[in-house]
Structure 1
Amino acid sequence: MPDEQFWSIGELAERAGATVKTVRFYSDRGLLPESARSGGGHRRYGPQALERLRLIRCLRALDLPLAQVQRVVEDAGGADRVLEDAVASRLRELGREVKAMRWREAALRLVGECPPAERADRLRLLGAVSTPPSTAPLARFWRGWLPPRMPARATAAFLEVAVPEPPDEPSPDQVLAFARLHAMTTAPCPAGRRPQPDVHRVGGADGASLLYAGLVEAFDLAGPHLRRARDPYPGEALDAYVAAYASAYGSRDTRTFRRLLATRLAAEPRLDRYWELTAVVRTPPSGVPEPTPGTADDWLRRALQRDNAAAA
């Protein structure tokens, strides 16, 4: 290569519209190939270094980390694949960052707009929640509530409907509801409280699997009725609900069983506050709350009571 095609570090910086400090930084990290050295030992660069420098600056303008930039420029054979992976990774990171920023914005509005007497309590609630918020504490709560040794698939299916995901663009009310859910599920259980209601423990691990799989199905069937605000009534959803308990207990769906089930359900503890807060977290921008397992269970219990009353 003729001498006039070699550039000093200052000339390369000028051609690229960068600073000498920037060129030296990338050169020291081995990202810019040197074409030669001057008699005094100074670096000399050619057109390849100029192209590389322009590529590096474009990648850095996209906020790609230096380590990923280095993999892109050094992997000549798989540069496209490496670049795609790097861009996808950065997009995921940005998604998390944007979600965290929106959560913080809603949290700040929550604190700024509340009465002064409530601020200390809200700050305490918000300070206990990670940003962006994690659903792990809620999942741990339910794993303690669910029967032990329940099959993993049944557990995962129930957690999917029971644990609300924080919305990507939360309102202050949704931030507060999620923070209260976090506080509720991380608080120590009162002394003497059993982790599961008796009605869920009768059938053992196999019965629990049948029960929760059946309950998820019954909740799905009740969902459309809840969305249409229909009054509880006997039908397919109630039949699936009763069948879930009957299967777990090794019984049959009879009139006697329905009466006994209603009695047992009425005596069991409820998690009404959890489901009320979950409904707030899951309320879409339209303002119409999505059904939750709690609202579905309440609808089905009332349908069972109505069915028993009609048969009496």
Structure 2
Amino acid sequence: MWSIGELAEQAGVTVKTVRFYSDRGLLPEATRSSGGHRRYGPEAVERLALIRSLRRLDLPVPEVTRVLDREDALEDVIAGQLGEIGSRLAELRWQEAALRLLQDCPPDERARRLRLVGALSTPPNTTVLARFWRRWLPARLPARVAATLIEHAVPQPPDDPAPGQVLAFAELHAFVSRPCPGTAPQPAAHRADEGWRPAVLYDGLGEAHLLAAPELRARRTPFEGEALDCFVGAYAAASGQRDTADFRRQLRQLLAADPRIDHYWNLVAKVSGPDRPTPGATHDWLLEALDTHLARAA
């Protein structure tokens, strides 16, 4: 049996360290001397080494206790610690990119950028962007359809952003946070009272965008084909009409009058990068394909 001092010497730690873990129940004493002093067996050295190994991995004391009490808890504890470290690393990467953004800019631009990045959490979340789309989408849209639309319209903050991506995300955050006077303009196809069925429309548009996205990534000039037919067919089904030559001409006039949020999509493109076409860019590609079709038909 070793005293607390002898155990500390055997393990190469201080008496204070041994007492700390003993007081918290991580290092049970084997017995007490006749004078009431703690005594530890040889197994305490191995247990103390395990405790110190876990603590060097920055595991908090309660998690160390879990591992010591249940051998099968180690895998869960490691997974949780990895997740926490990943979050901290993402936070540090965003902070570094934000600092470089402020460092590498003209002095007269620094105050504006500081205000923009100062409004973001680190790393930022997408709550404000999702809220913007929930306000803009048609009322009574099925939850499944709305969730899919928001997933495609809201960019995820990159884990390891470049300074330009930090600036674009901060500008995007500021853009959707501005108060919008009056009622935000809505596309005509959002108006169920005029005979449109927005849920049918957005279901069809999702398929059209999936078909067009590879063409954008390949930088192909807009052309007639399956993607355009699916795009027009979505509007025809949503309005209860047939896809005819007249309908396509009327649809082009209708879409030309729709409100646009090009600034939003330009910023999303800067955040997401060129390999992920935005819904705005895909919509424009399909509109150009429709123009090409109408010009050829004329």
TM-score (ref. length: structure 1)? 0.91
Name the counterpart of 2:107. Answer: 116
Match of 1:208 in 2: 198
Equivalent-residue separation in structure 1 for 2:193 and 2:59 (angstroms): 54
Paired residue type of 1:302: E
Contact 1:32 1:52 in 2 (8 A): yes
Where does structure 1 differ by over 3 angstroms across 4 or more consecutive aligned residues? 202-206
Is 1:140 equivalent to 2:135 in the alignment?
no
Picking from 141, 144, 155, the partner of 1:164 is: 155
Match of 1:267 among 238, 250, 257: 257
Q: 1:33 to 1:144 in 2, by over 3 A?
A: same
Letter aligned with residue 197 of structure 2: G
Map 1:215-230 to 2 at 5 A: 215-230=205-220
What is the SS of the residue equivalent to 1:168?
coil
In the alignment, is the contact (CA less than 8 A) between 1:36 and 1:45 conserved in 2? yes
Change (3 A) 1:256 1:206: closer
Structure 2 CA distance for aligned equivalents of residues 230 and 39 of structure 1: 88
- Provide the alpha-carbon RMSD of the alignment: 1.7
- Measured after TM superposition, the shift of residue 37 of structure 1 is 0.8
Check the 8 A contact 2:189/2:198 in 1, yes or no: no
Q: Does 1:241 align with 2:231?
A: yes
Indicate how the Cα distance of structure 1 residues 181 and 139 shifts in structure 2: closer, same or farther if over 3 A, else same: same
2:189 is aligned with 1:189: no
Provide the secondary structure at the position in 2 that maps to 1:170. Answer: coil
Q: Is the 8 A contact 2:190 2:196 kept in 1?
A: no
CA distance 1:69–1:109, shift in 2 (3 Å): same
Structure 1 residue 189 displacement after superposition: 1.1
Residue 284 of structure 2 is aligned to residue 294 of structure 1: no
Tell me, yes or no, if the aligned pair for 1:125 and 1:183 is still in contact at 8 Å.
yes
Partner of 2:16: 21
SS at match of 2:6: helix
Query: Is the partner of 2:197 in helix, strand or coil?
Result: helix
**2:42 maps to 1:47:** yes
Is 1:34–2:26 an aligned residue pair? no
Instruction: Please point out which of 243, 247, 272 is paired with 1:253.
Output: 243
Kindly provide the CA deviation profile for residues 231-251 of structure 1, in whole angstroms up to 9, marking residues without a partner as x: 111111111111111122122
Structure 1: give runs of 5+ residues left out of the alignment.
1-5
Q: Residue 98 of structure 1: CA displacement?
A: 0.7
Find the aligned partners of 2:226 and 2:192 in 1 and give their Cα distance: 25
Q: In 2 relative to 1, CA 214–11 (structure 1 residues): closer, same or farther, beyond 3 Å?
A: same
Q: Distance in 2 between matches of 1:136 and 1:94?
A: 23
Aligned length: 298
Give SS of 1:155's match: helix
Deviations 1:112-152 (A, max 9, x none): 00101011110000011110110111111111111122112
Query: What percent of counterpart residues are identical?
Result: 60
Q: Deviations over 1:8-50 (max 9, x none)?
A: 1111111112111111111111111111111221111112322
Give, in whole Å, the separation in 2 of the partners of 1:204 and 1:11. 87
1:205: Cα distance to partner?
11
Deviation at 1:255, TM superposition (A): 1.3
Counterpart amino acid of 1:8? S
2:294 is aligned to 308
Distance 1:17 1:72 in 2: 22
Structure 2 Cα separation of the partners of residues 228 and 39 of structure 1: 83
**1:70 is the counterpart of 2:65:** yes
**What TM-score do the two structures reach when normalised by structure 2?**
0.95
Amino acid in the other structure paired with 2:187: P
